[in-house]
A = this chain, B = another copy of it.
C-alpha cells in the first residue's frame, strides 16, 4: 500500500487521523483547520474522519489529550435550567478532570500550554470559539456591552482554570482535599454571577 493511498479503517486509521489533525492544527490554528484538510493529510476519505470523531471540537479534544470534548458537555449544560448554569459548569468541569487519569491529562495540557506559545494559541482559539463564545451567545446579559460580557466569560474561564491549577498542579491542600460538592457550593454562584445576570 502506498503511504499516499487511502487507508482502511481500524485503530491505525484513527491514529493517523489524530496525527494529521495535530499537524494541521499546528500549521494553521484551530479556526482555519478543516476536517477535509485533515482527511487529505491522513490519506483517508473525509467520511472516515466523521466516522471516528463527532466534529472538529471532538478531534481537537483528542489532539490536546482532554478526557472528553468540553464543547459537547457544554451543549447539555446550556440546555439545562438557566439558574443552575454556574453549578452545572463547576461540576462538569471538575468531573472532566477529577480522576487520576484526568489529573495526569490536565498536567500534560498545562505543561504544554506553559512551555509552547503555539499550544497556548491553539487552546485560546478553541476556548474562545467552542466554549466561551457559545456561553456568551447563549446566556450573555443583553444590557451589558459585548466587551463586558466577554470579559465576564473570560473571568469565569479563569476561575475554572485557576481552580484546576490549585487542585491539580499546586495541590494546595485547602483546595486539593475539598469535596466536589463543597467546591460546587462555592464556585457555582461565582460562575453564575459572571455568566447570568
Query: 1/0 per position for A133-164, CB-CB distance to B under 8 A?
Result: 00000000000000110111111011111110
Bound form: Cα–Cα A137–B127 in Å: 37
B186 close to A113 (CB less than 8 A): no
**A110 in contact (CB, < 8 A):** yes
| Given A157-B166, A157-B172, A163-B162, also A151-B124 (CB < 8 A) | no
**A: contact size bracket:** 35 or more
Task: List the B residue with the shortest CB-CB distance to A171.
Answer: B124
The copy count of this chain in the complex is: 2
Q: Which residues of chain A have a CB within 8 Å of any CB of chain B?
A: 110-111, 113-115, 120, 123-124, 127-128, 132, 147-148, 150-155, 157-163, 165-167, 169-175, 178, 182-183, 186-187, 189-190, 193-194
A140 CB, min distance to chain B CBs, angstroms: 12
Bound form: Cα–Cα A157–B162 in Å: 8
CB-CB < 8 A to A114: which residues of B?
110-111, 114-115, 169
Bound form: Cα–Cα A163–B165 in Å: 11
Q: A interface, by DSSP: helix, strand, loop or mixed? A: helix
Bound form: Cα–Cα A154–B183 in Å: 10
A107 CB, min distance to chain B CBs, angstroms: 8
A186 close to B194 (CB less than 8 A): yes
A142 CB, min distance to chain B CBs, angstroms: 17
Task: List the B residue with the shortest CB-CB distance to A128.
Answer: B172
CB-CB < 8 A to A151: which residues of B?
174-175, 178, 182-183, 186
CB-CB < 8 A to A167: which residues of B?
158
| Given A113-B169, A166-B158, also A182-B148 (CB < 8 A) | yes
Task: List the B residue with the shortest CB-CB distance to A155.
Answer: B186
CB-CB < 8 A to A183: which residues of B?
151, 155
| Given A124-B172, A171-B124, A182-B148, also A187-B110 (CB < 8 A) | no
CB-CB < 8 A to A171: which residues of B?
120, 124
